Structure 1
């Protein structure tokens, strides 16, 4: 950053404790600097003092935090512990009030160190610089400091003109947007994510319109459709690299190929459109949600901004837990929450004296108006996303539930002006027969969720559907894009027959799922289930699973303050084994580290944790944890039923030490019966050495999620590149072929326990590559078994060969669909 430093203020430690960098705080909101730069102290005393002279801006009623304006204008947030707002003030005593002047070292908040430590997630206390136009410089961290010791300094940055000889790079590129739906929410979020490593200012220009490329809202407002020509313009020290990164993303299709978005017809001017296929018979129920009232006037700009930041962080944290079809939608919503244009517009309202809730609603309304002004029907579907987030953030700010959803009676066909993703997720799916909305579109996020859940849905049905009286009989035929109101006897009879046939097929699949799975030519293929709890085991048995192909034991280790002891592990493994009966149980040893850290197992920060100390590497580094887990597994699961699997193997050097340790533990426990020890193939190295590994390991099981990530060099947690993740990529399939061949040559079996195993379309390819066991989600098992029973081995081998020679995942899918017709 270029600038002249003035008005420097020294910060002293607000209490004695361990000084750490902000990224060490076990909370992404602070660690990823969503609220601003800063540092943290893990305290050893219960009195928070002023780190510098200034004026108290706010102290919440819970007294767990304080905001302070320093004499150079910088604003600081001091937040005692994590998740301490939930204590409601218990254990805290404020020593200051808003508007009070304090000196460095003056008491701010006293707290009961032991009581708060016991009740809170952690005591570590972030000190956050919440103002722009300042820079914070931190002294050496990783050390114990006394209260009053110098720990940092904050200086104002005064803008200055560029000096002679100092060059600012400018670079522009023209590209064509050929993504199917242009730049809508998910592609816009990916563009913003792609720019995170760069400092240059980048804009997307179309005609006379220009938008900040880091702003999802601004990009949506451009209304860029498929086939549009845009200019990418950058200015800054790394402008060329930033522009090239965005251009590469656009030219690659913006991640829309193979995405979860529906392939659906364009919105027609009249009549409903199918957003999720299927047929429903039921009774109408209107959903009429209303906005909550918000106060117009705020309680001070600093307090309102802190409140808004906290609400945004709260909703972002909730979205981070999304799984399945909701995960990508949540990523796009998180990008909107972090949108610089939206936050700036809300900030202007707050600066004008408005409350945070009023400001966020006004900023959202401004963005929605801009998107509607494009006239693009596809882009206007994103208005629902902004409205959804507006309601969630307002509810968080007011501390009240958002607009609720009604209780559903059996066979409800829900009707609404539009439906928000959060509303859909709150519905009782067991009683929801179908959905019809007056507005919306087939590529809306709620349409994706409905399709994933198998709920028939019609959109763009027109205002007339809002006049349908609750309780009116309906037939919702999404396949025919028709809503039949008060159908006659003949229509009801025909629809009932179709529904019955569908249910019969599913029931037939479910009933036959309890029989061993054999292909049409008699080849035996085992269909197992992936499990993460005792409840999952019961669901798997009910679905017809022939065993467990992957028990993710980390569910026992995550989201807790201490590691489970041997007895707790043994008891859990024993319950899962008993639930499975005599079916095989493959227990994967602890797979934490990387993207699954635990607070009681401190590990140094890793620049690329996916390539760091995770899986079996952590077990080798901590043999005490490995020994304890092996003891618990062997004591909890009968030897005849037990199979143990090691994650993240690269070669035999990772396998042999665990084999030796297993033999030691078996001897300690007096277990003479052999216990199978296999490996999970997740690295290209292990796949290429599969034949060598299989000569010593008892079985091989492929984790397609990580294998795909490592093969394609694309982080599945990075929105800028995650669209490249596709397990049907020919490069991944060739590695799977090596595993199948290596296992066969060594007389071992090879399975797949990654996400690809749940896809019936992939089954013939995987079987043709030498896979004899598929471990899927419990819900997918009946349909997967039915699909496998129709296959012939010779045809599968021929299809697999063509798939490995294909040029893209899309071509692989086309081959598979053609073969299955």
Structure 2
């Protein structure tokens, strides 16, 4: 029985020799990724309960069972290694989930001969899976018999009893398919951890007969959960139901960056060996020329030992705190720039830095006599081996994130800053670069990067693509033999040319010069109106999220703001912004755009975009649920407050209001009446323009009726694509097929343009299609007269418009509506309007 200090001694569940986890012939268990514990090489055929408790999980293959002891410790009893592969053959489970068991009660029996012949090892595990709350101390490392004392469990002093809020209420569980591309790797696991930490309940993932706490990234990654795999989530505590629903949503919703910028295919170029050329894999496209500079990582000397344990622990804690602060600063900058890729990557780093599997392993090494530097390095190496042995390429690539943390913490321990002074324009070569390395190198103005190893789906590759930095990976060890000479990095073709000729260097520099000249011409003319050859004016506006974005857009030549998403005001806070704050923020955007018009979309939350202070029902299909303008039906005060704030901006004729998710005319009429009433309350005679987003097929089909009552229409091609094609744009497997140049989409766009024209209304596009230069002639030809893009693309899109004949575009676009696929449309666009 546990005493008042929550201590508990577990008895031996099997008879046989006892092993420490470190000596278990399995990398996952040996590393402690699943928790601390002990192992037995069994001599009997029955597994017994090591304590009184409740059965909280039974493996579907009958080889493992998890108990919750009366003191809150969760004890995984796992018979044999790789026994999940036997699919239950040879095992007989004697208890069911939810059952109450007593110390010494039989839990499962197995056929010793059958199982021993077919599994990797009979060595069996007793693991404390919620080790963040408990410490496990072996009573003996000798042989034991069933029922003898084996492991002493002591609650950690965390300031709150793990059995308080987390043990109040029933346990709930649910199943879900993993939506994240490549499975549950670092970034989605960090999102899961973040979600779980928002609740008091204890949450676990169960997959393949194993379990991991949602508090531990390494534990969850150690489950090797693949894309589209079905997992079980269990939550226990006072808010278990809410925690479960939130986790199911997080696990089934792909990260935005997994869909918007798919990684290039990971395949080597099938080139024969060439003298003077190293072949690799393109991780980020582009061509660069410059001197090769090699970067070498930190190499630690041998550990002399004899350290003060407490001093080493303090040094590690201080270094971890310093790196944590540095990462938070990087996160703040990423959020300011609305860079979701960087934000997701460094959020995962922050979570890894706090992972109990890493920290406990490092502190144990210090307790055993290692210096803090060597203890941290050994802890990282152990976790890297775990990921590399899981047989999952994507998870193996995530070892790069762990090595990033190793380098950063080691530098903090050694009192070093970023140690490399790389000249601008250089090509950097390294065994492996990390995400933080890449940010430093970008700040130094390097021309390109290449690595011995790495992969096209690594976080470094994602960042390089976002920075427009050519990146080549998997070049092999021969890369490190090079240094100093000028080279050509042709990532598009997967080549690093070690000894380029003068002619080749001149060719690459000429291409760079032409590209730079073209961009300079486009930028120089960005403030000139975009007008087709036959005199049709196309307004090129900017999509923005803040007044700073608006100021940059104006500097880059924007004709106005085509879409201000107001959600940025409402998310990541515990209370709604009041009317005054909203008015000030909207006014700041209007002020930043000088005399240009600003289109402000009303709040579009609900479904999968939840607000802490606005509880909405969980929905099975959020994108088809309570979102956008539908929210006004259940929360009218939220929209009224926003409309009042918008009505108080000046000058009101430059403020245009855009309504999202409209599906019928009555919705528009209701909001127009509400806008009129609020304007009258404020004593206003003037009204801002009121527009409708065309982002559902119903709105496109009713465009003529909507245009009768709206001042303008704006097509959101991102949502219109997924609703028309019945393909979730956040679905990792389908996202590449959600192409807005599909002829079905073009027909809807054509119908919307025709409907707007009948009432003399202008119509724009603010979705991703507006920023695709290949689509510009199609949209102009169908009747679109405003394109809203990112500030950086304004010059390019305006230059594209100036090359077009609008009448010819109209004739050719009509032909595209008869084609059979998006691929056919794109091919025809290349033929009719070549890029260049």
Q: Is 2:269 the counterpart of 1:266?
A: yes
CA separation of 1:154 and 1:707: change in aligned 2, threshold 3 A: closer
Q: Contact 2:740–2:746 (CA<8 Å) still a contact in 1?
A: yes
Residue 567 of structure 1, aligned match among 568, 571, 580? 580
Distance 1:709 1:126 in 2: 45
Name the residue aligned to 2:526.
513
Larger Rg: 2
Name the residue aligned to 1:434.
448
Q: Is 2:773 the counterpart of 1:756?
A: no
What is the deviation of 1:267?
A: 5.2
Kindly provide the CA deviation profile for residues 261-317 of structure 1, in whole angstroms up to 9, marking residues without a partner as x. 259762546433472443434443323334899999x99xxxxxxxxxxx9xxx9xx
What is the deviation of 1:715?
A: 3.1
Residue 678 of structure 1, aligned match among 691, 714, 737? 691
Q: Is 2:462 the counterpart of 1:454?
A: no
Q: Contact 2:259–2:731 (CA<8 Å) still a contact in 1?
A: no
Name the residue aligned to 2:19.
none
What is the deviation of 1:820?
A: 2.2
Name the residue aligned to 2:292.
284
Residue 682 of structure 2, aligned match among 659, 662, 669? 669
**TM-score, structure 1 as length reference:** 0.62
Residue 786 of structure 2, aligned match among 752, 770, 773? 773
CA separation of 1:416 and 1:677: change in aligned 2, threshold 3 A: same
Distance 1:216 1:101 in 2: 25
Name the residue aligned to 2:559.
546
Q: Is 2:436 the counterpart of 1:412?
A: no
Distance 2:207 2:131 in 1: 29
CA separation of 1:478 and 1:713: change in aligned 2, threshold 3 A: closer
Distance 1:544 1:528 in 2: 8
Q: Is 2:71 the counterpart of 1:54?
A: yes
Kindly provide the CA deviation profile for residues 4-23 of structure 1, in whole angstroms up to 9, marking residues without a partner as x. xxx9xxxxxxxxxxxxxxxx
Mapping of residues 126-275 of structure 1, within 5 Å: 151-152=168-169, 186=181, 259-261=262-264, 266=269, 268=271, 270=273, 271-273=277-279, 275=282
Q: Is 2:601 the counterpart of 1:595?
A: no
Kindly provide the CA deviation profile for residues 61-95 of structure 1, in whole angstroms up to 9, marking residues without a partner as x. xxxxxxxxx9989876899xxxxxxxxxxxxxxxx
Kindly provide the CA deviation profile for residues 565-606 of structure 1, in whole angstroms up to 9, marking residues without a partner as x. 222222222221111111111111112222322222222333
What is the deviation of 1:689?
A: 1.1
Name the residue aligned to 1:643.
656
Distance 2:440 2:223 in 1: 26
Mapping of residues 349-388 of structure 1, within 5 Å: 361-362=381-382, 364-368=384-388, 383-388=396-401
Distance 1:792 1:413 in 2: 42
Distance 1:570 1:280 in 2: 47
Q: Is 2:742 the counterpart of 1:729?
A: yes
Q: Which runs of 5+ in 2 are unaligned?
A: 2-33, 36-53, 57-67, 75-100, 104-126, 134-151, 174-179, 193-204, 210-220, 233-257, 311-322, 369-374
Name the residue aligned to 2:136.
none
Kindly provide the CA deviation profile for residues 373-430 of structure 1, in whole angstroms up to 9, marking residues without a partner as x. xxxxxx9687433433565599899998999684654223221123345643554256
Classify the secondary structure of the residue corresponding to 1:572: helix
Distance 1:443 1:611 in 2: 31
Distance 1:293 1:596 in 2: 50
Name the residue aligned to 1:17.
none
CA separation of 1:665 and 1:381: change in aligned 2, threshold 3 A: closer
Residue 523 of structure 1, aligned match among 536, 552, 562? 536
Larger CA deviation: 784-793 vs 266-275: 266-275
Q: CA RMSD in A?
A: 5.7
Mapping of residues 63-82 of structure 1, within 5 Å: none
Residue 466 of structure 1, aligned match among 447, 455, 480? 480
CA separation of 1:630 and 1:101: change in aligned 2, threshold 3 A: closer
Name the residue aligned to 2:627.
614
What is the deviation of 1:694?
A: 0.9
Name the residue aligned to 2:826.
813
What is the deviation of 1:749?
A: 1.2
Q: Contact 2:487–2:496 (CA<8 Å) still a contact in 1?
A: yes
Q: Contact 1:188–1:216 (CA<8 Å) still a contact in 2?
A: no
Distance 1:695 1:754 in 2: 23
Residue 814 of structure 2, aligned match among 787, 801, 809? 801
Name the residue aligned to 1:689.
702
Distance 2:802 2:578 in 1: 43
Name the residue aligned to 1:27.
none
Q: Is 2:593 the counterpart of 1:580?
A: yes
**TM-score, structure 2 as length reference:** 0.61
What is the deviation of 1:362?
A: 3.3
What is the deviation of 1:326?
A: 7.3
CA separation of 1:787 and 1:324: change in aligned 2, threshold 3 A: farther
